[in-house]
Amino acid sequence: MTDLNVNGTVHRVEAEPDKPLLWVLREDLGLTGSKFGCGVGQCLACTVHLDGEPAAACLTPLAAVAGRRVTTIEGLPAAASHPVQRAWVEMNVVQCGYCQSGQILAAVALLAANREPADADIDRAMRGNLCRCGTYQRIRGAVRRAAALARGEV
């Protein structure tokens, strides 16, 4: 039994301690926004935040997250009011959508750490998040736009 804090709610999870967090989220908690891409840390479709830092949920065993704060895409405002969500909608970033919850969480973490990221900062922060649809240009633009929205520029 593991107490797991996800999106501000503590869940008591009955799962093996070595079960990957991705499957705990999807199977045990029904939070399917975090996607399975490769399962080996190569695509970051499964990105969540652990204590505010992006992490690959497919590589993170349940035992490693006890006592830590997990945030998934479901933890962002349902009204899509976060600057990253607003920018993503405004710039019509999404194509098939499969990689996008991971992309968005990577962008949220970047902007929390850096209010004014240069293009090189964006590229560095997002480089592990693969998109088979090739939405990279729109993602870069949307991160820049989200940063401006977060700074109160309209």
CB of 2 or CB of 129, closer to ligand FES? 129
Q: Which residues bind ligand FES (CB under 6 A)?
A: 36-39, 41-46, 56, 58, 94-100, 131-133, 135
CB of 10 or CB of 104, closer to ligand FES? 104
CB of 38 or CB of 113, closer to ligand FES? 38
Minimal distance in Å, beta carbon 61 to ligand FES? Answer: 13
Element (H, E) at 84: helix 83-90
**Which own/partner contact pairs does 131-139 have at CB distance under 8 Å and 24+ positions apart?**
131/95, 131/99, 131/103, 132/96, 132/98, 132/99, 133/95, 133/96, 133/98, 133/99, 134/95, 135/93, 135/94, 135/95, 135/99, 135/100, 135/103, 138/91, 138/92, 138/93, 139/93, 139/103, 139/107
CB of 2 or CB of 135, closer to ligand FES? 135
Please give the distance of CA 21 from its chain centroid, rounded to a whole number: 13
CB of 80 or CB of 118, closer to ligand FES? 80
Minimal distance in Å, beta carbon 49 to ligand FES? Answer: 14
Minimal distance in Å, beta carbon 38 to ligand FES? Answer: 4
Q: How far apart are CA 48 and CA 71, in angstroms?
A: 6
**Residue 48, both tokens:** 């969540």
